């Protein structure tokens, strides 16, 4: 299906043309038909040979009804622009064209209607000249009379040609249905209508109400008054919804694919129209069928920050427009550049942001977004409308390669600085490392450690692998005394009383281990750094397998030391625990005489 908006004159000529094309009455209200003037959105459709179904959203033209007009035009990709031959170009024609230009609409057909009442040449010439100066460019035009039928076949041909040039929609895209009408059907409940621009809706789907986040279920679907189990874009669709908040739906709301969109109340935009400095501070942003008051903060000549009165589900590259309701004018169209912009809190930050935005493309750029953000969740980037350019480094986190390398260097410096400032606590706690790097998740620190930093993690702390910290002289002297004791009996760890006598607290023992001068195999149990290798060598010379008691006797130590030492050997691959209480030495890897094993 193809969906067009019909824009143009305030009089009934536009609606009459739609009626002549489709055989349907687009004006839904008796008041509209009585006054010969479209007051609200109307809908009609027809089938064109070669193009399939063509649906029309008939929008009002009166300047007091521009909000209604914008609700119908916002989500629609093409337009049938109507000018009356006997009236020529009108003020509302100018405003409608400004709307289409601001939204960046690029597909249109010009219909010069009521050509039975006047020569259409002058009206056609002026309209084509004005339209050519906008995003629509050069468009086909047809002179037509809904009364006599002259030109209707030519108009159908022109509409078919335009429909065939429209870009193909993505049926797998994330659904965002801007609601332009809400009503109640007895026995069915709330029904909403809108133009589905991308994606597919199915009966039974769960959707998310953008305004509140509430979940609504799709109970039924219709397109062009035909029930369907599913509807793919582009299509006019009526959705019967059920769930909390369904009764409070209104025009300007949006139904979303759950978990796939970000609501934002602050956006950075590029302006297409008046310079940023000339914009009023308070305007109305029209996006989709929504109209939201915004506060404008100019950044560069053609960029600004908009603060919205309520959050909208917007994505990078979305088109919208700013309207000044008091002056009845459209000062600018906008292209969304950032839906999660950085705070502007420091002096000069606005100017720096303007320089940054100057280089930002109006089409989604995954590498550029990642470069600007450094770190971002994959789901957030997708919700911004951007395809991730790399795979996650940790969980859902994506990292710009240059930023990731810089974080690795900063982590090295943070670990070294901490070891220098705290010689008795050389290991930098993981949480302190996260704070030092300014990253939002400890998993990122752990991923950095696993990416070849040369650092090591133990017991929630990060240690350097080289340049071990020097111990303060009193601690060094006490450790030397322990080493002398162990040189006489390498597997008889000093008793708690001996450690207390030397003043070696658990904190000092941890520092000694980090410095590489002692090996801790348990709480308060320390040996020489190579004690595990020496123990494995001793055990390799006894009968295999062996018990803990046999190991204790071979190592000439106590059970207090033997059990944690054997468990240490198990963990590091020197020994293998068998069933029951037996162990054996592990075989060394081929070609690795220095590796684990006995």
User: H or E stretch including 81?
Assistant: strand 78-84
Q: Which pLDDT belongs to residue 113?
A: 92
Q: Quick check: helix, strand or coil at residue 137? A: coil
pLDDT at 579: 80
Instruction: Look at the block and give the residue holding tokens 């010009």.
Output: 110
User: What's the CATH fold of domain 2-165?
Assistant: Rossmann fold (3.40.50)
Residue 89 CA to residue 513 CA, distance in Å, equals 87
The answer to whether 178 touches 290, Cβ cutoff 8 Å, is yes
Q: Which of 329, 337, 342 is nearest to 364 (CA)?
A: 337
Which element (helix H / strand E) includes 200? Answer: strand 200-202
**b/e 358-386 (16+ beta carbons within 10 angstroms → b):** eebeeeebbebbbebbbbbbeebbbbbbb
Cα–Cα distance list, 86 to 9, 83, 145, 434 (Å):
11, 9, 11, 72
Stretch(es) of the chain classified as CATH 3.40.50.300: 2-165
- The CATH label, of 2.60.40.10, 2.40.30.10, 3.40.220.10, 3.100.10.20, for the domain at 176-256 is 2.40.30.10
CA distance 41 to 68: 7
Three-class DSSP category at 65: helix
In this prediction, residue 26 carries a pLDDT of: 65
Q: How many CB atoms lie within 10 A of CB 493?
A: 29
pLDDT along the chain (598 residues), means of 10: 61 75 70 55 85 83 63 81 90 86 92 93 95 94 93 94 90 94 90 92 96 94 93 92 91 94 96 93 93 95 96 95 86 94 91 92 90 94 94 95 93 84 77 93 92 80 66 84 91 92 85 82 90 93 94 94 94 88 76 53
Cis ω before 234 (30° cut-off from 0): yes
Residues carrying CATH 2.40.30.10, the chain: 176-256, 263-363
Protein fold of 530-598? Arc Repressor Mutant, subunit A (1.10.10)
Burial environment of residue 91 by CB neighbours within 10 A (0 to 12, 13 to 18, 19 or more): exposed
**Most distant pair of Cα atoms in the chain: their distance:** 118
Amino acid 568: pLDDT: 93
Q: What is the pLDDT of residue 591?
A: 37
Helix H or strand E segment including 581:
none
Of the candidates 179, 5, 192, the residue with the CA atom closest to the CA atom of residue 81 = 5
Nearest 5°: the CA angle 12, 13, 16 is 85
User: Exposure pattern of 30-53 as b/e (b: 16+ CB <10 Å)?
Assistant: eebeeeebbbbbbbbbbebeebeb
* DSSP state, residue 493: P
Residues 263-363: name the CATH superfamily: Translation factors (2.40.30.10)
Give the predicted TM-score (pTM) of the model: 0.77
DSSP E strands, 301-351: 303-313, 319-324, 329-338
* Cβ neighbour number for residue 261 with a 10 Å cutoff: 23
| N residues, the chain | 598
User: CATH 1.10.10.10 in the chain, residues?
Assistant: 530-598
- 16 touches 155 (CB < 8 A): no
**Separation between Cα atoms, residue 337 and residue 303, nearest integer Å:** 9
């Amino acid at each position: 299906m193809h969906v067009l908006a019909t824009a143009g004159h305030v009089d009934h000529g536009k609606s009459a043309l739609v009626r002549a094309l489709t055989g349907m009455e687009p004006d839904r209200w008796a008041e509209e038909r009585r006054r010969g003037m479209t007051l609200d959105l109307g809908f009609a459709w027809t089938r064109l040979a070669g193009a399939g179904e063509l649906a029309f959203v008939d929008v009002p033209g009166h300047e007091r009804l521009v909000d209604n007009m914008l609700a119908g035009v916002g989500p629609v990709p093409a337009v049938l622009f109507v000018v009356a031959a006997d009236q020529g170009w009108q003020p509302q024609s100018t405003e409608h064209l400004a709307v289409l230009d601001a939204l960046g609409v690029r597909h249109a057909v010009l219909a010069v209607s009521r050509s039975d009442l006047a020569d259409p040449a002058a009206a056609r010439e002026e309209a084509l000249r004005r339209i050519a100066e906008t995003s629509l460019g050069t468009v086909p035009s047809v002179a037509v009379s809904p009364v006599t039928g002259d030109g209707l076949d030519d108009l159908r041909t022109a509409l078919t040609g335009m429909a065939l040039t429209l870009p193909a929609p993505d049926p797998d895209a994330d659904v965002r249905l801007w609601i332009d009408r809400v009503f109640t059907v007895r026995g069915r409940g709330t029904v909403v209508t809108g133009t589905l621009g991308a994606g597919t809706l199915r009966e039974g789907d769960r959707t998310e109400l953008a305004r509140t986040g509430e979940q609504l279920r799709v109970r039924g679907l219709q397109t062009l008054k035909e029930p369907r189990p599913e509807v793919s874009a582009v299509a006019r669709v009526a959705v019967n919804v059920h769930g909390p908040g369904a009764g409070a739906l209104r025009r300007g709301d949006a139904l979303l694919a759950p978990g796939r969109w970000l609501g934002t109340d602050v956006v950075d935009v590029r302006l297409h129209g008046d310079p940023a400095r000339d914009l009023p501070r308070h305007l109305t942003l029209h996006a989709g069928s929504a109209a939201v008051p915004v506060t404008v903060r100019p950044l560069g000549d053609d960029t600004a920050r908009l603060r919205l009165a309520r959050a909208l589900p917007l994505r990078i590259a979305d088109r919208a427009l700013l309207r000044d309701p008091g002056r009845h004018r459209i000062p600018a169209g906008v292209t969304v550049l950032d839906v999660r912009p950085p705070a502007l809190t420091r002096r000069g930050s606005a100017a720096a942001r303007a320089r940054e935005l100057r280089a930002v493309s109006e089409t989604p750029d995954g590498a550029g977004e990642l470069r600007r953000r450094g770190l971002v969740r994959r789901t957030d980037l997708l919700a911004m409308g951007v395809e991730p350019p790399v795979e996650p480094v940790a969980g859902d986190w994506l990292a710009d390669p240059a930023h990731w390398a810089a974080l690795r260097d900063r982590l090295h410096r943070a670990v070294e600085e901490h070891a220098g400032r705290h010689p008795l606590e050389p290991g930098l706690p993981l949480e302190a490392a996260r704070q030092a790097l300014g990253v939002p998740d400890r998993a990122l620190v752990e991923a950095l450690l696993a990416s070849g930093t040369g650092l090591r993690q133990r017991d929630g702390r990060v240690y350097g692998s080289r340049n071990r910290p020097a111990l303060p002289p009193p601690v060094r002297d006490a450790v030397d005394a322990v080493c002398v004791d162990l040189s006489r009996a390498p597997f008889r760890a000093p008793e708690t009383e001996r450690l207390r006598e030397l003043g070696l607290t658990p904190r000092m023992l941890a520092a000694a281990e980090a410095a590489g001068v002692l090996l801790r195999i348990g709480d308060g149990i320390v040996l020489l750094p190579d004690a595990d290798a020496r123990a494995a060598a001793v055990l390799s010379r006894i009968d295999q397998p062996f018990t803990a008691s046999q190991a204790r006797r071979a190592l000439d130590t106590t059970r207090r030391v033997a059990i944690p030492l054997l468990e240490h050997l198990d963990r590091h691959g020197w020994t293998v625990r068998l069933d029951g209480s037996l162990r054996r030495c592990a075989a060394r890897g081929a070609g690795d005489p220095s590796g684990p094993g006995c």
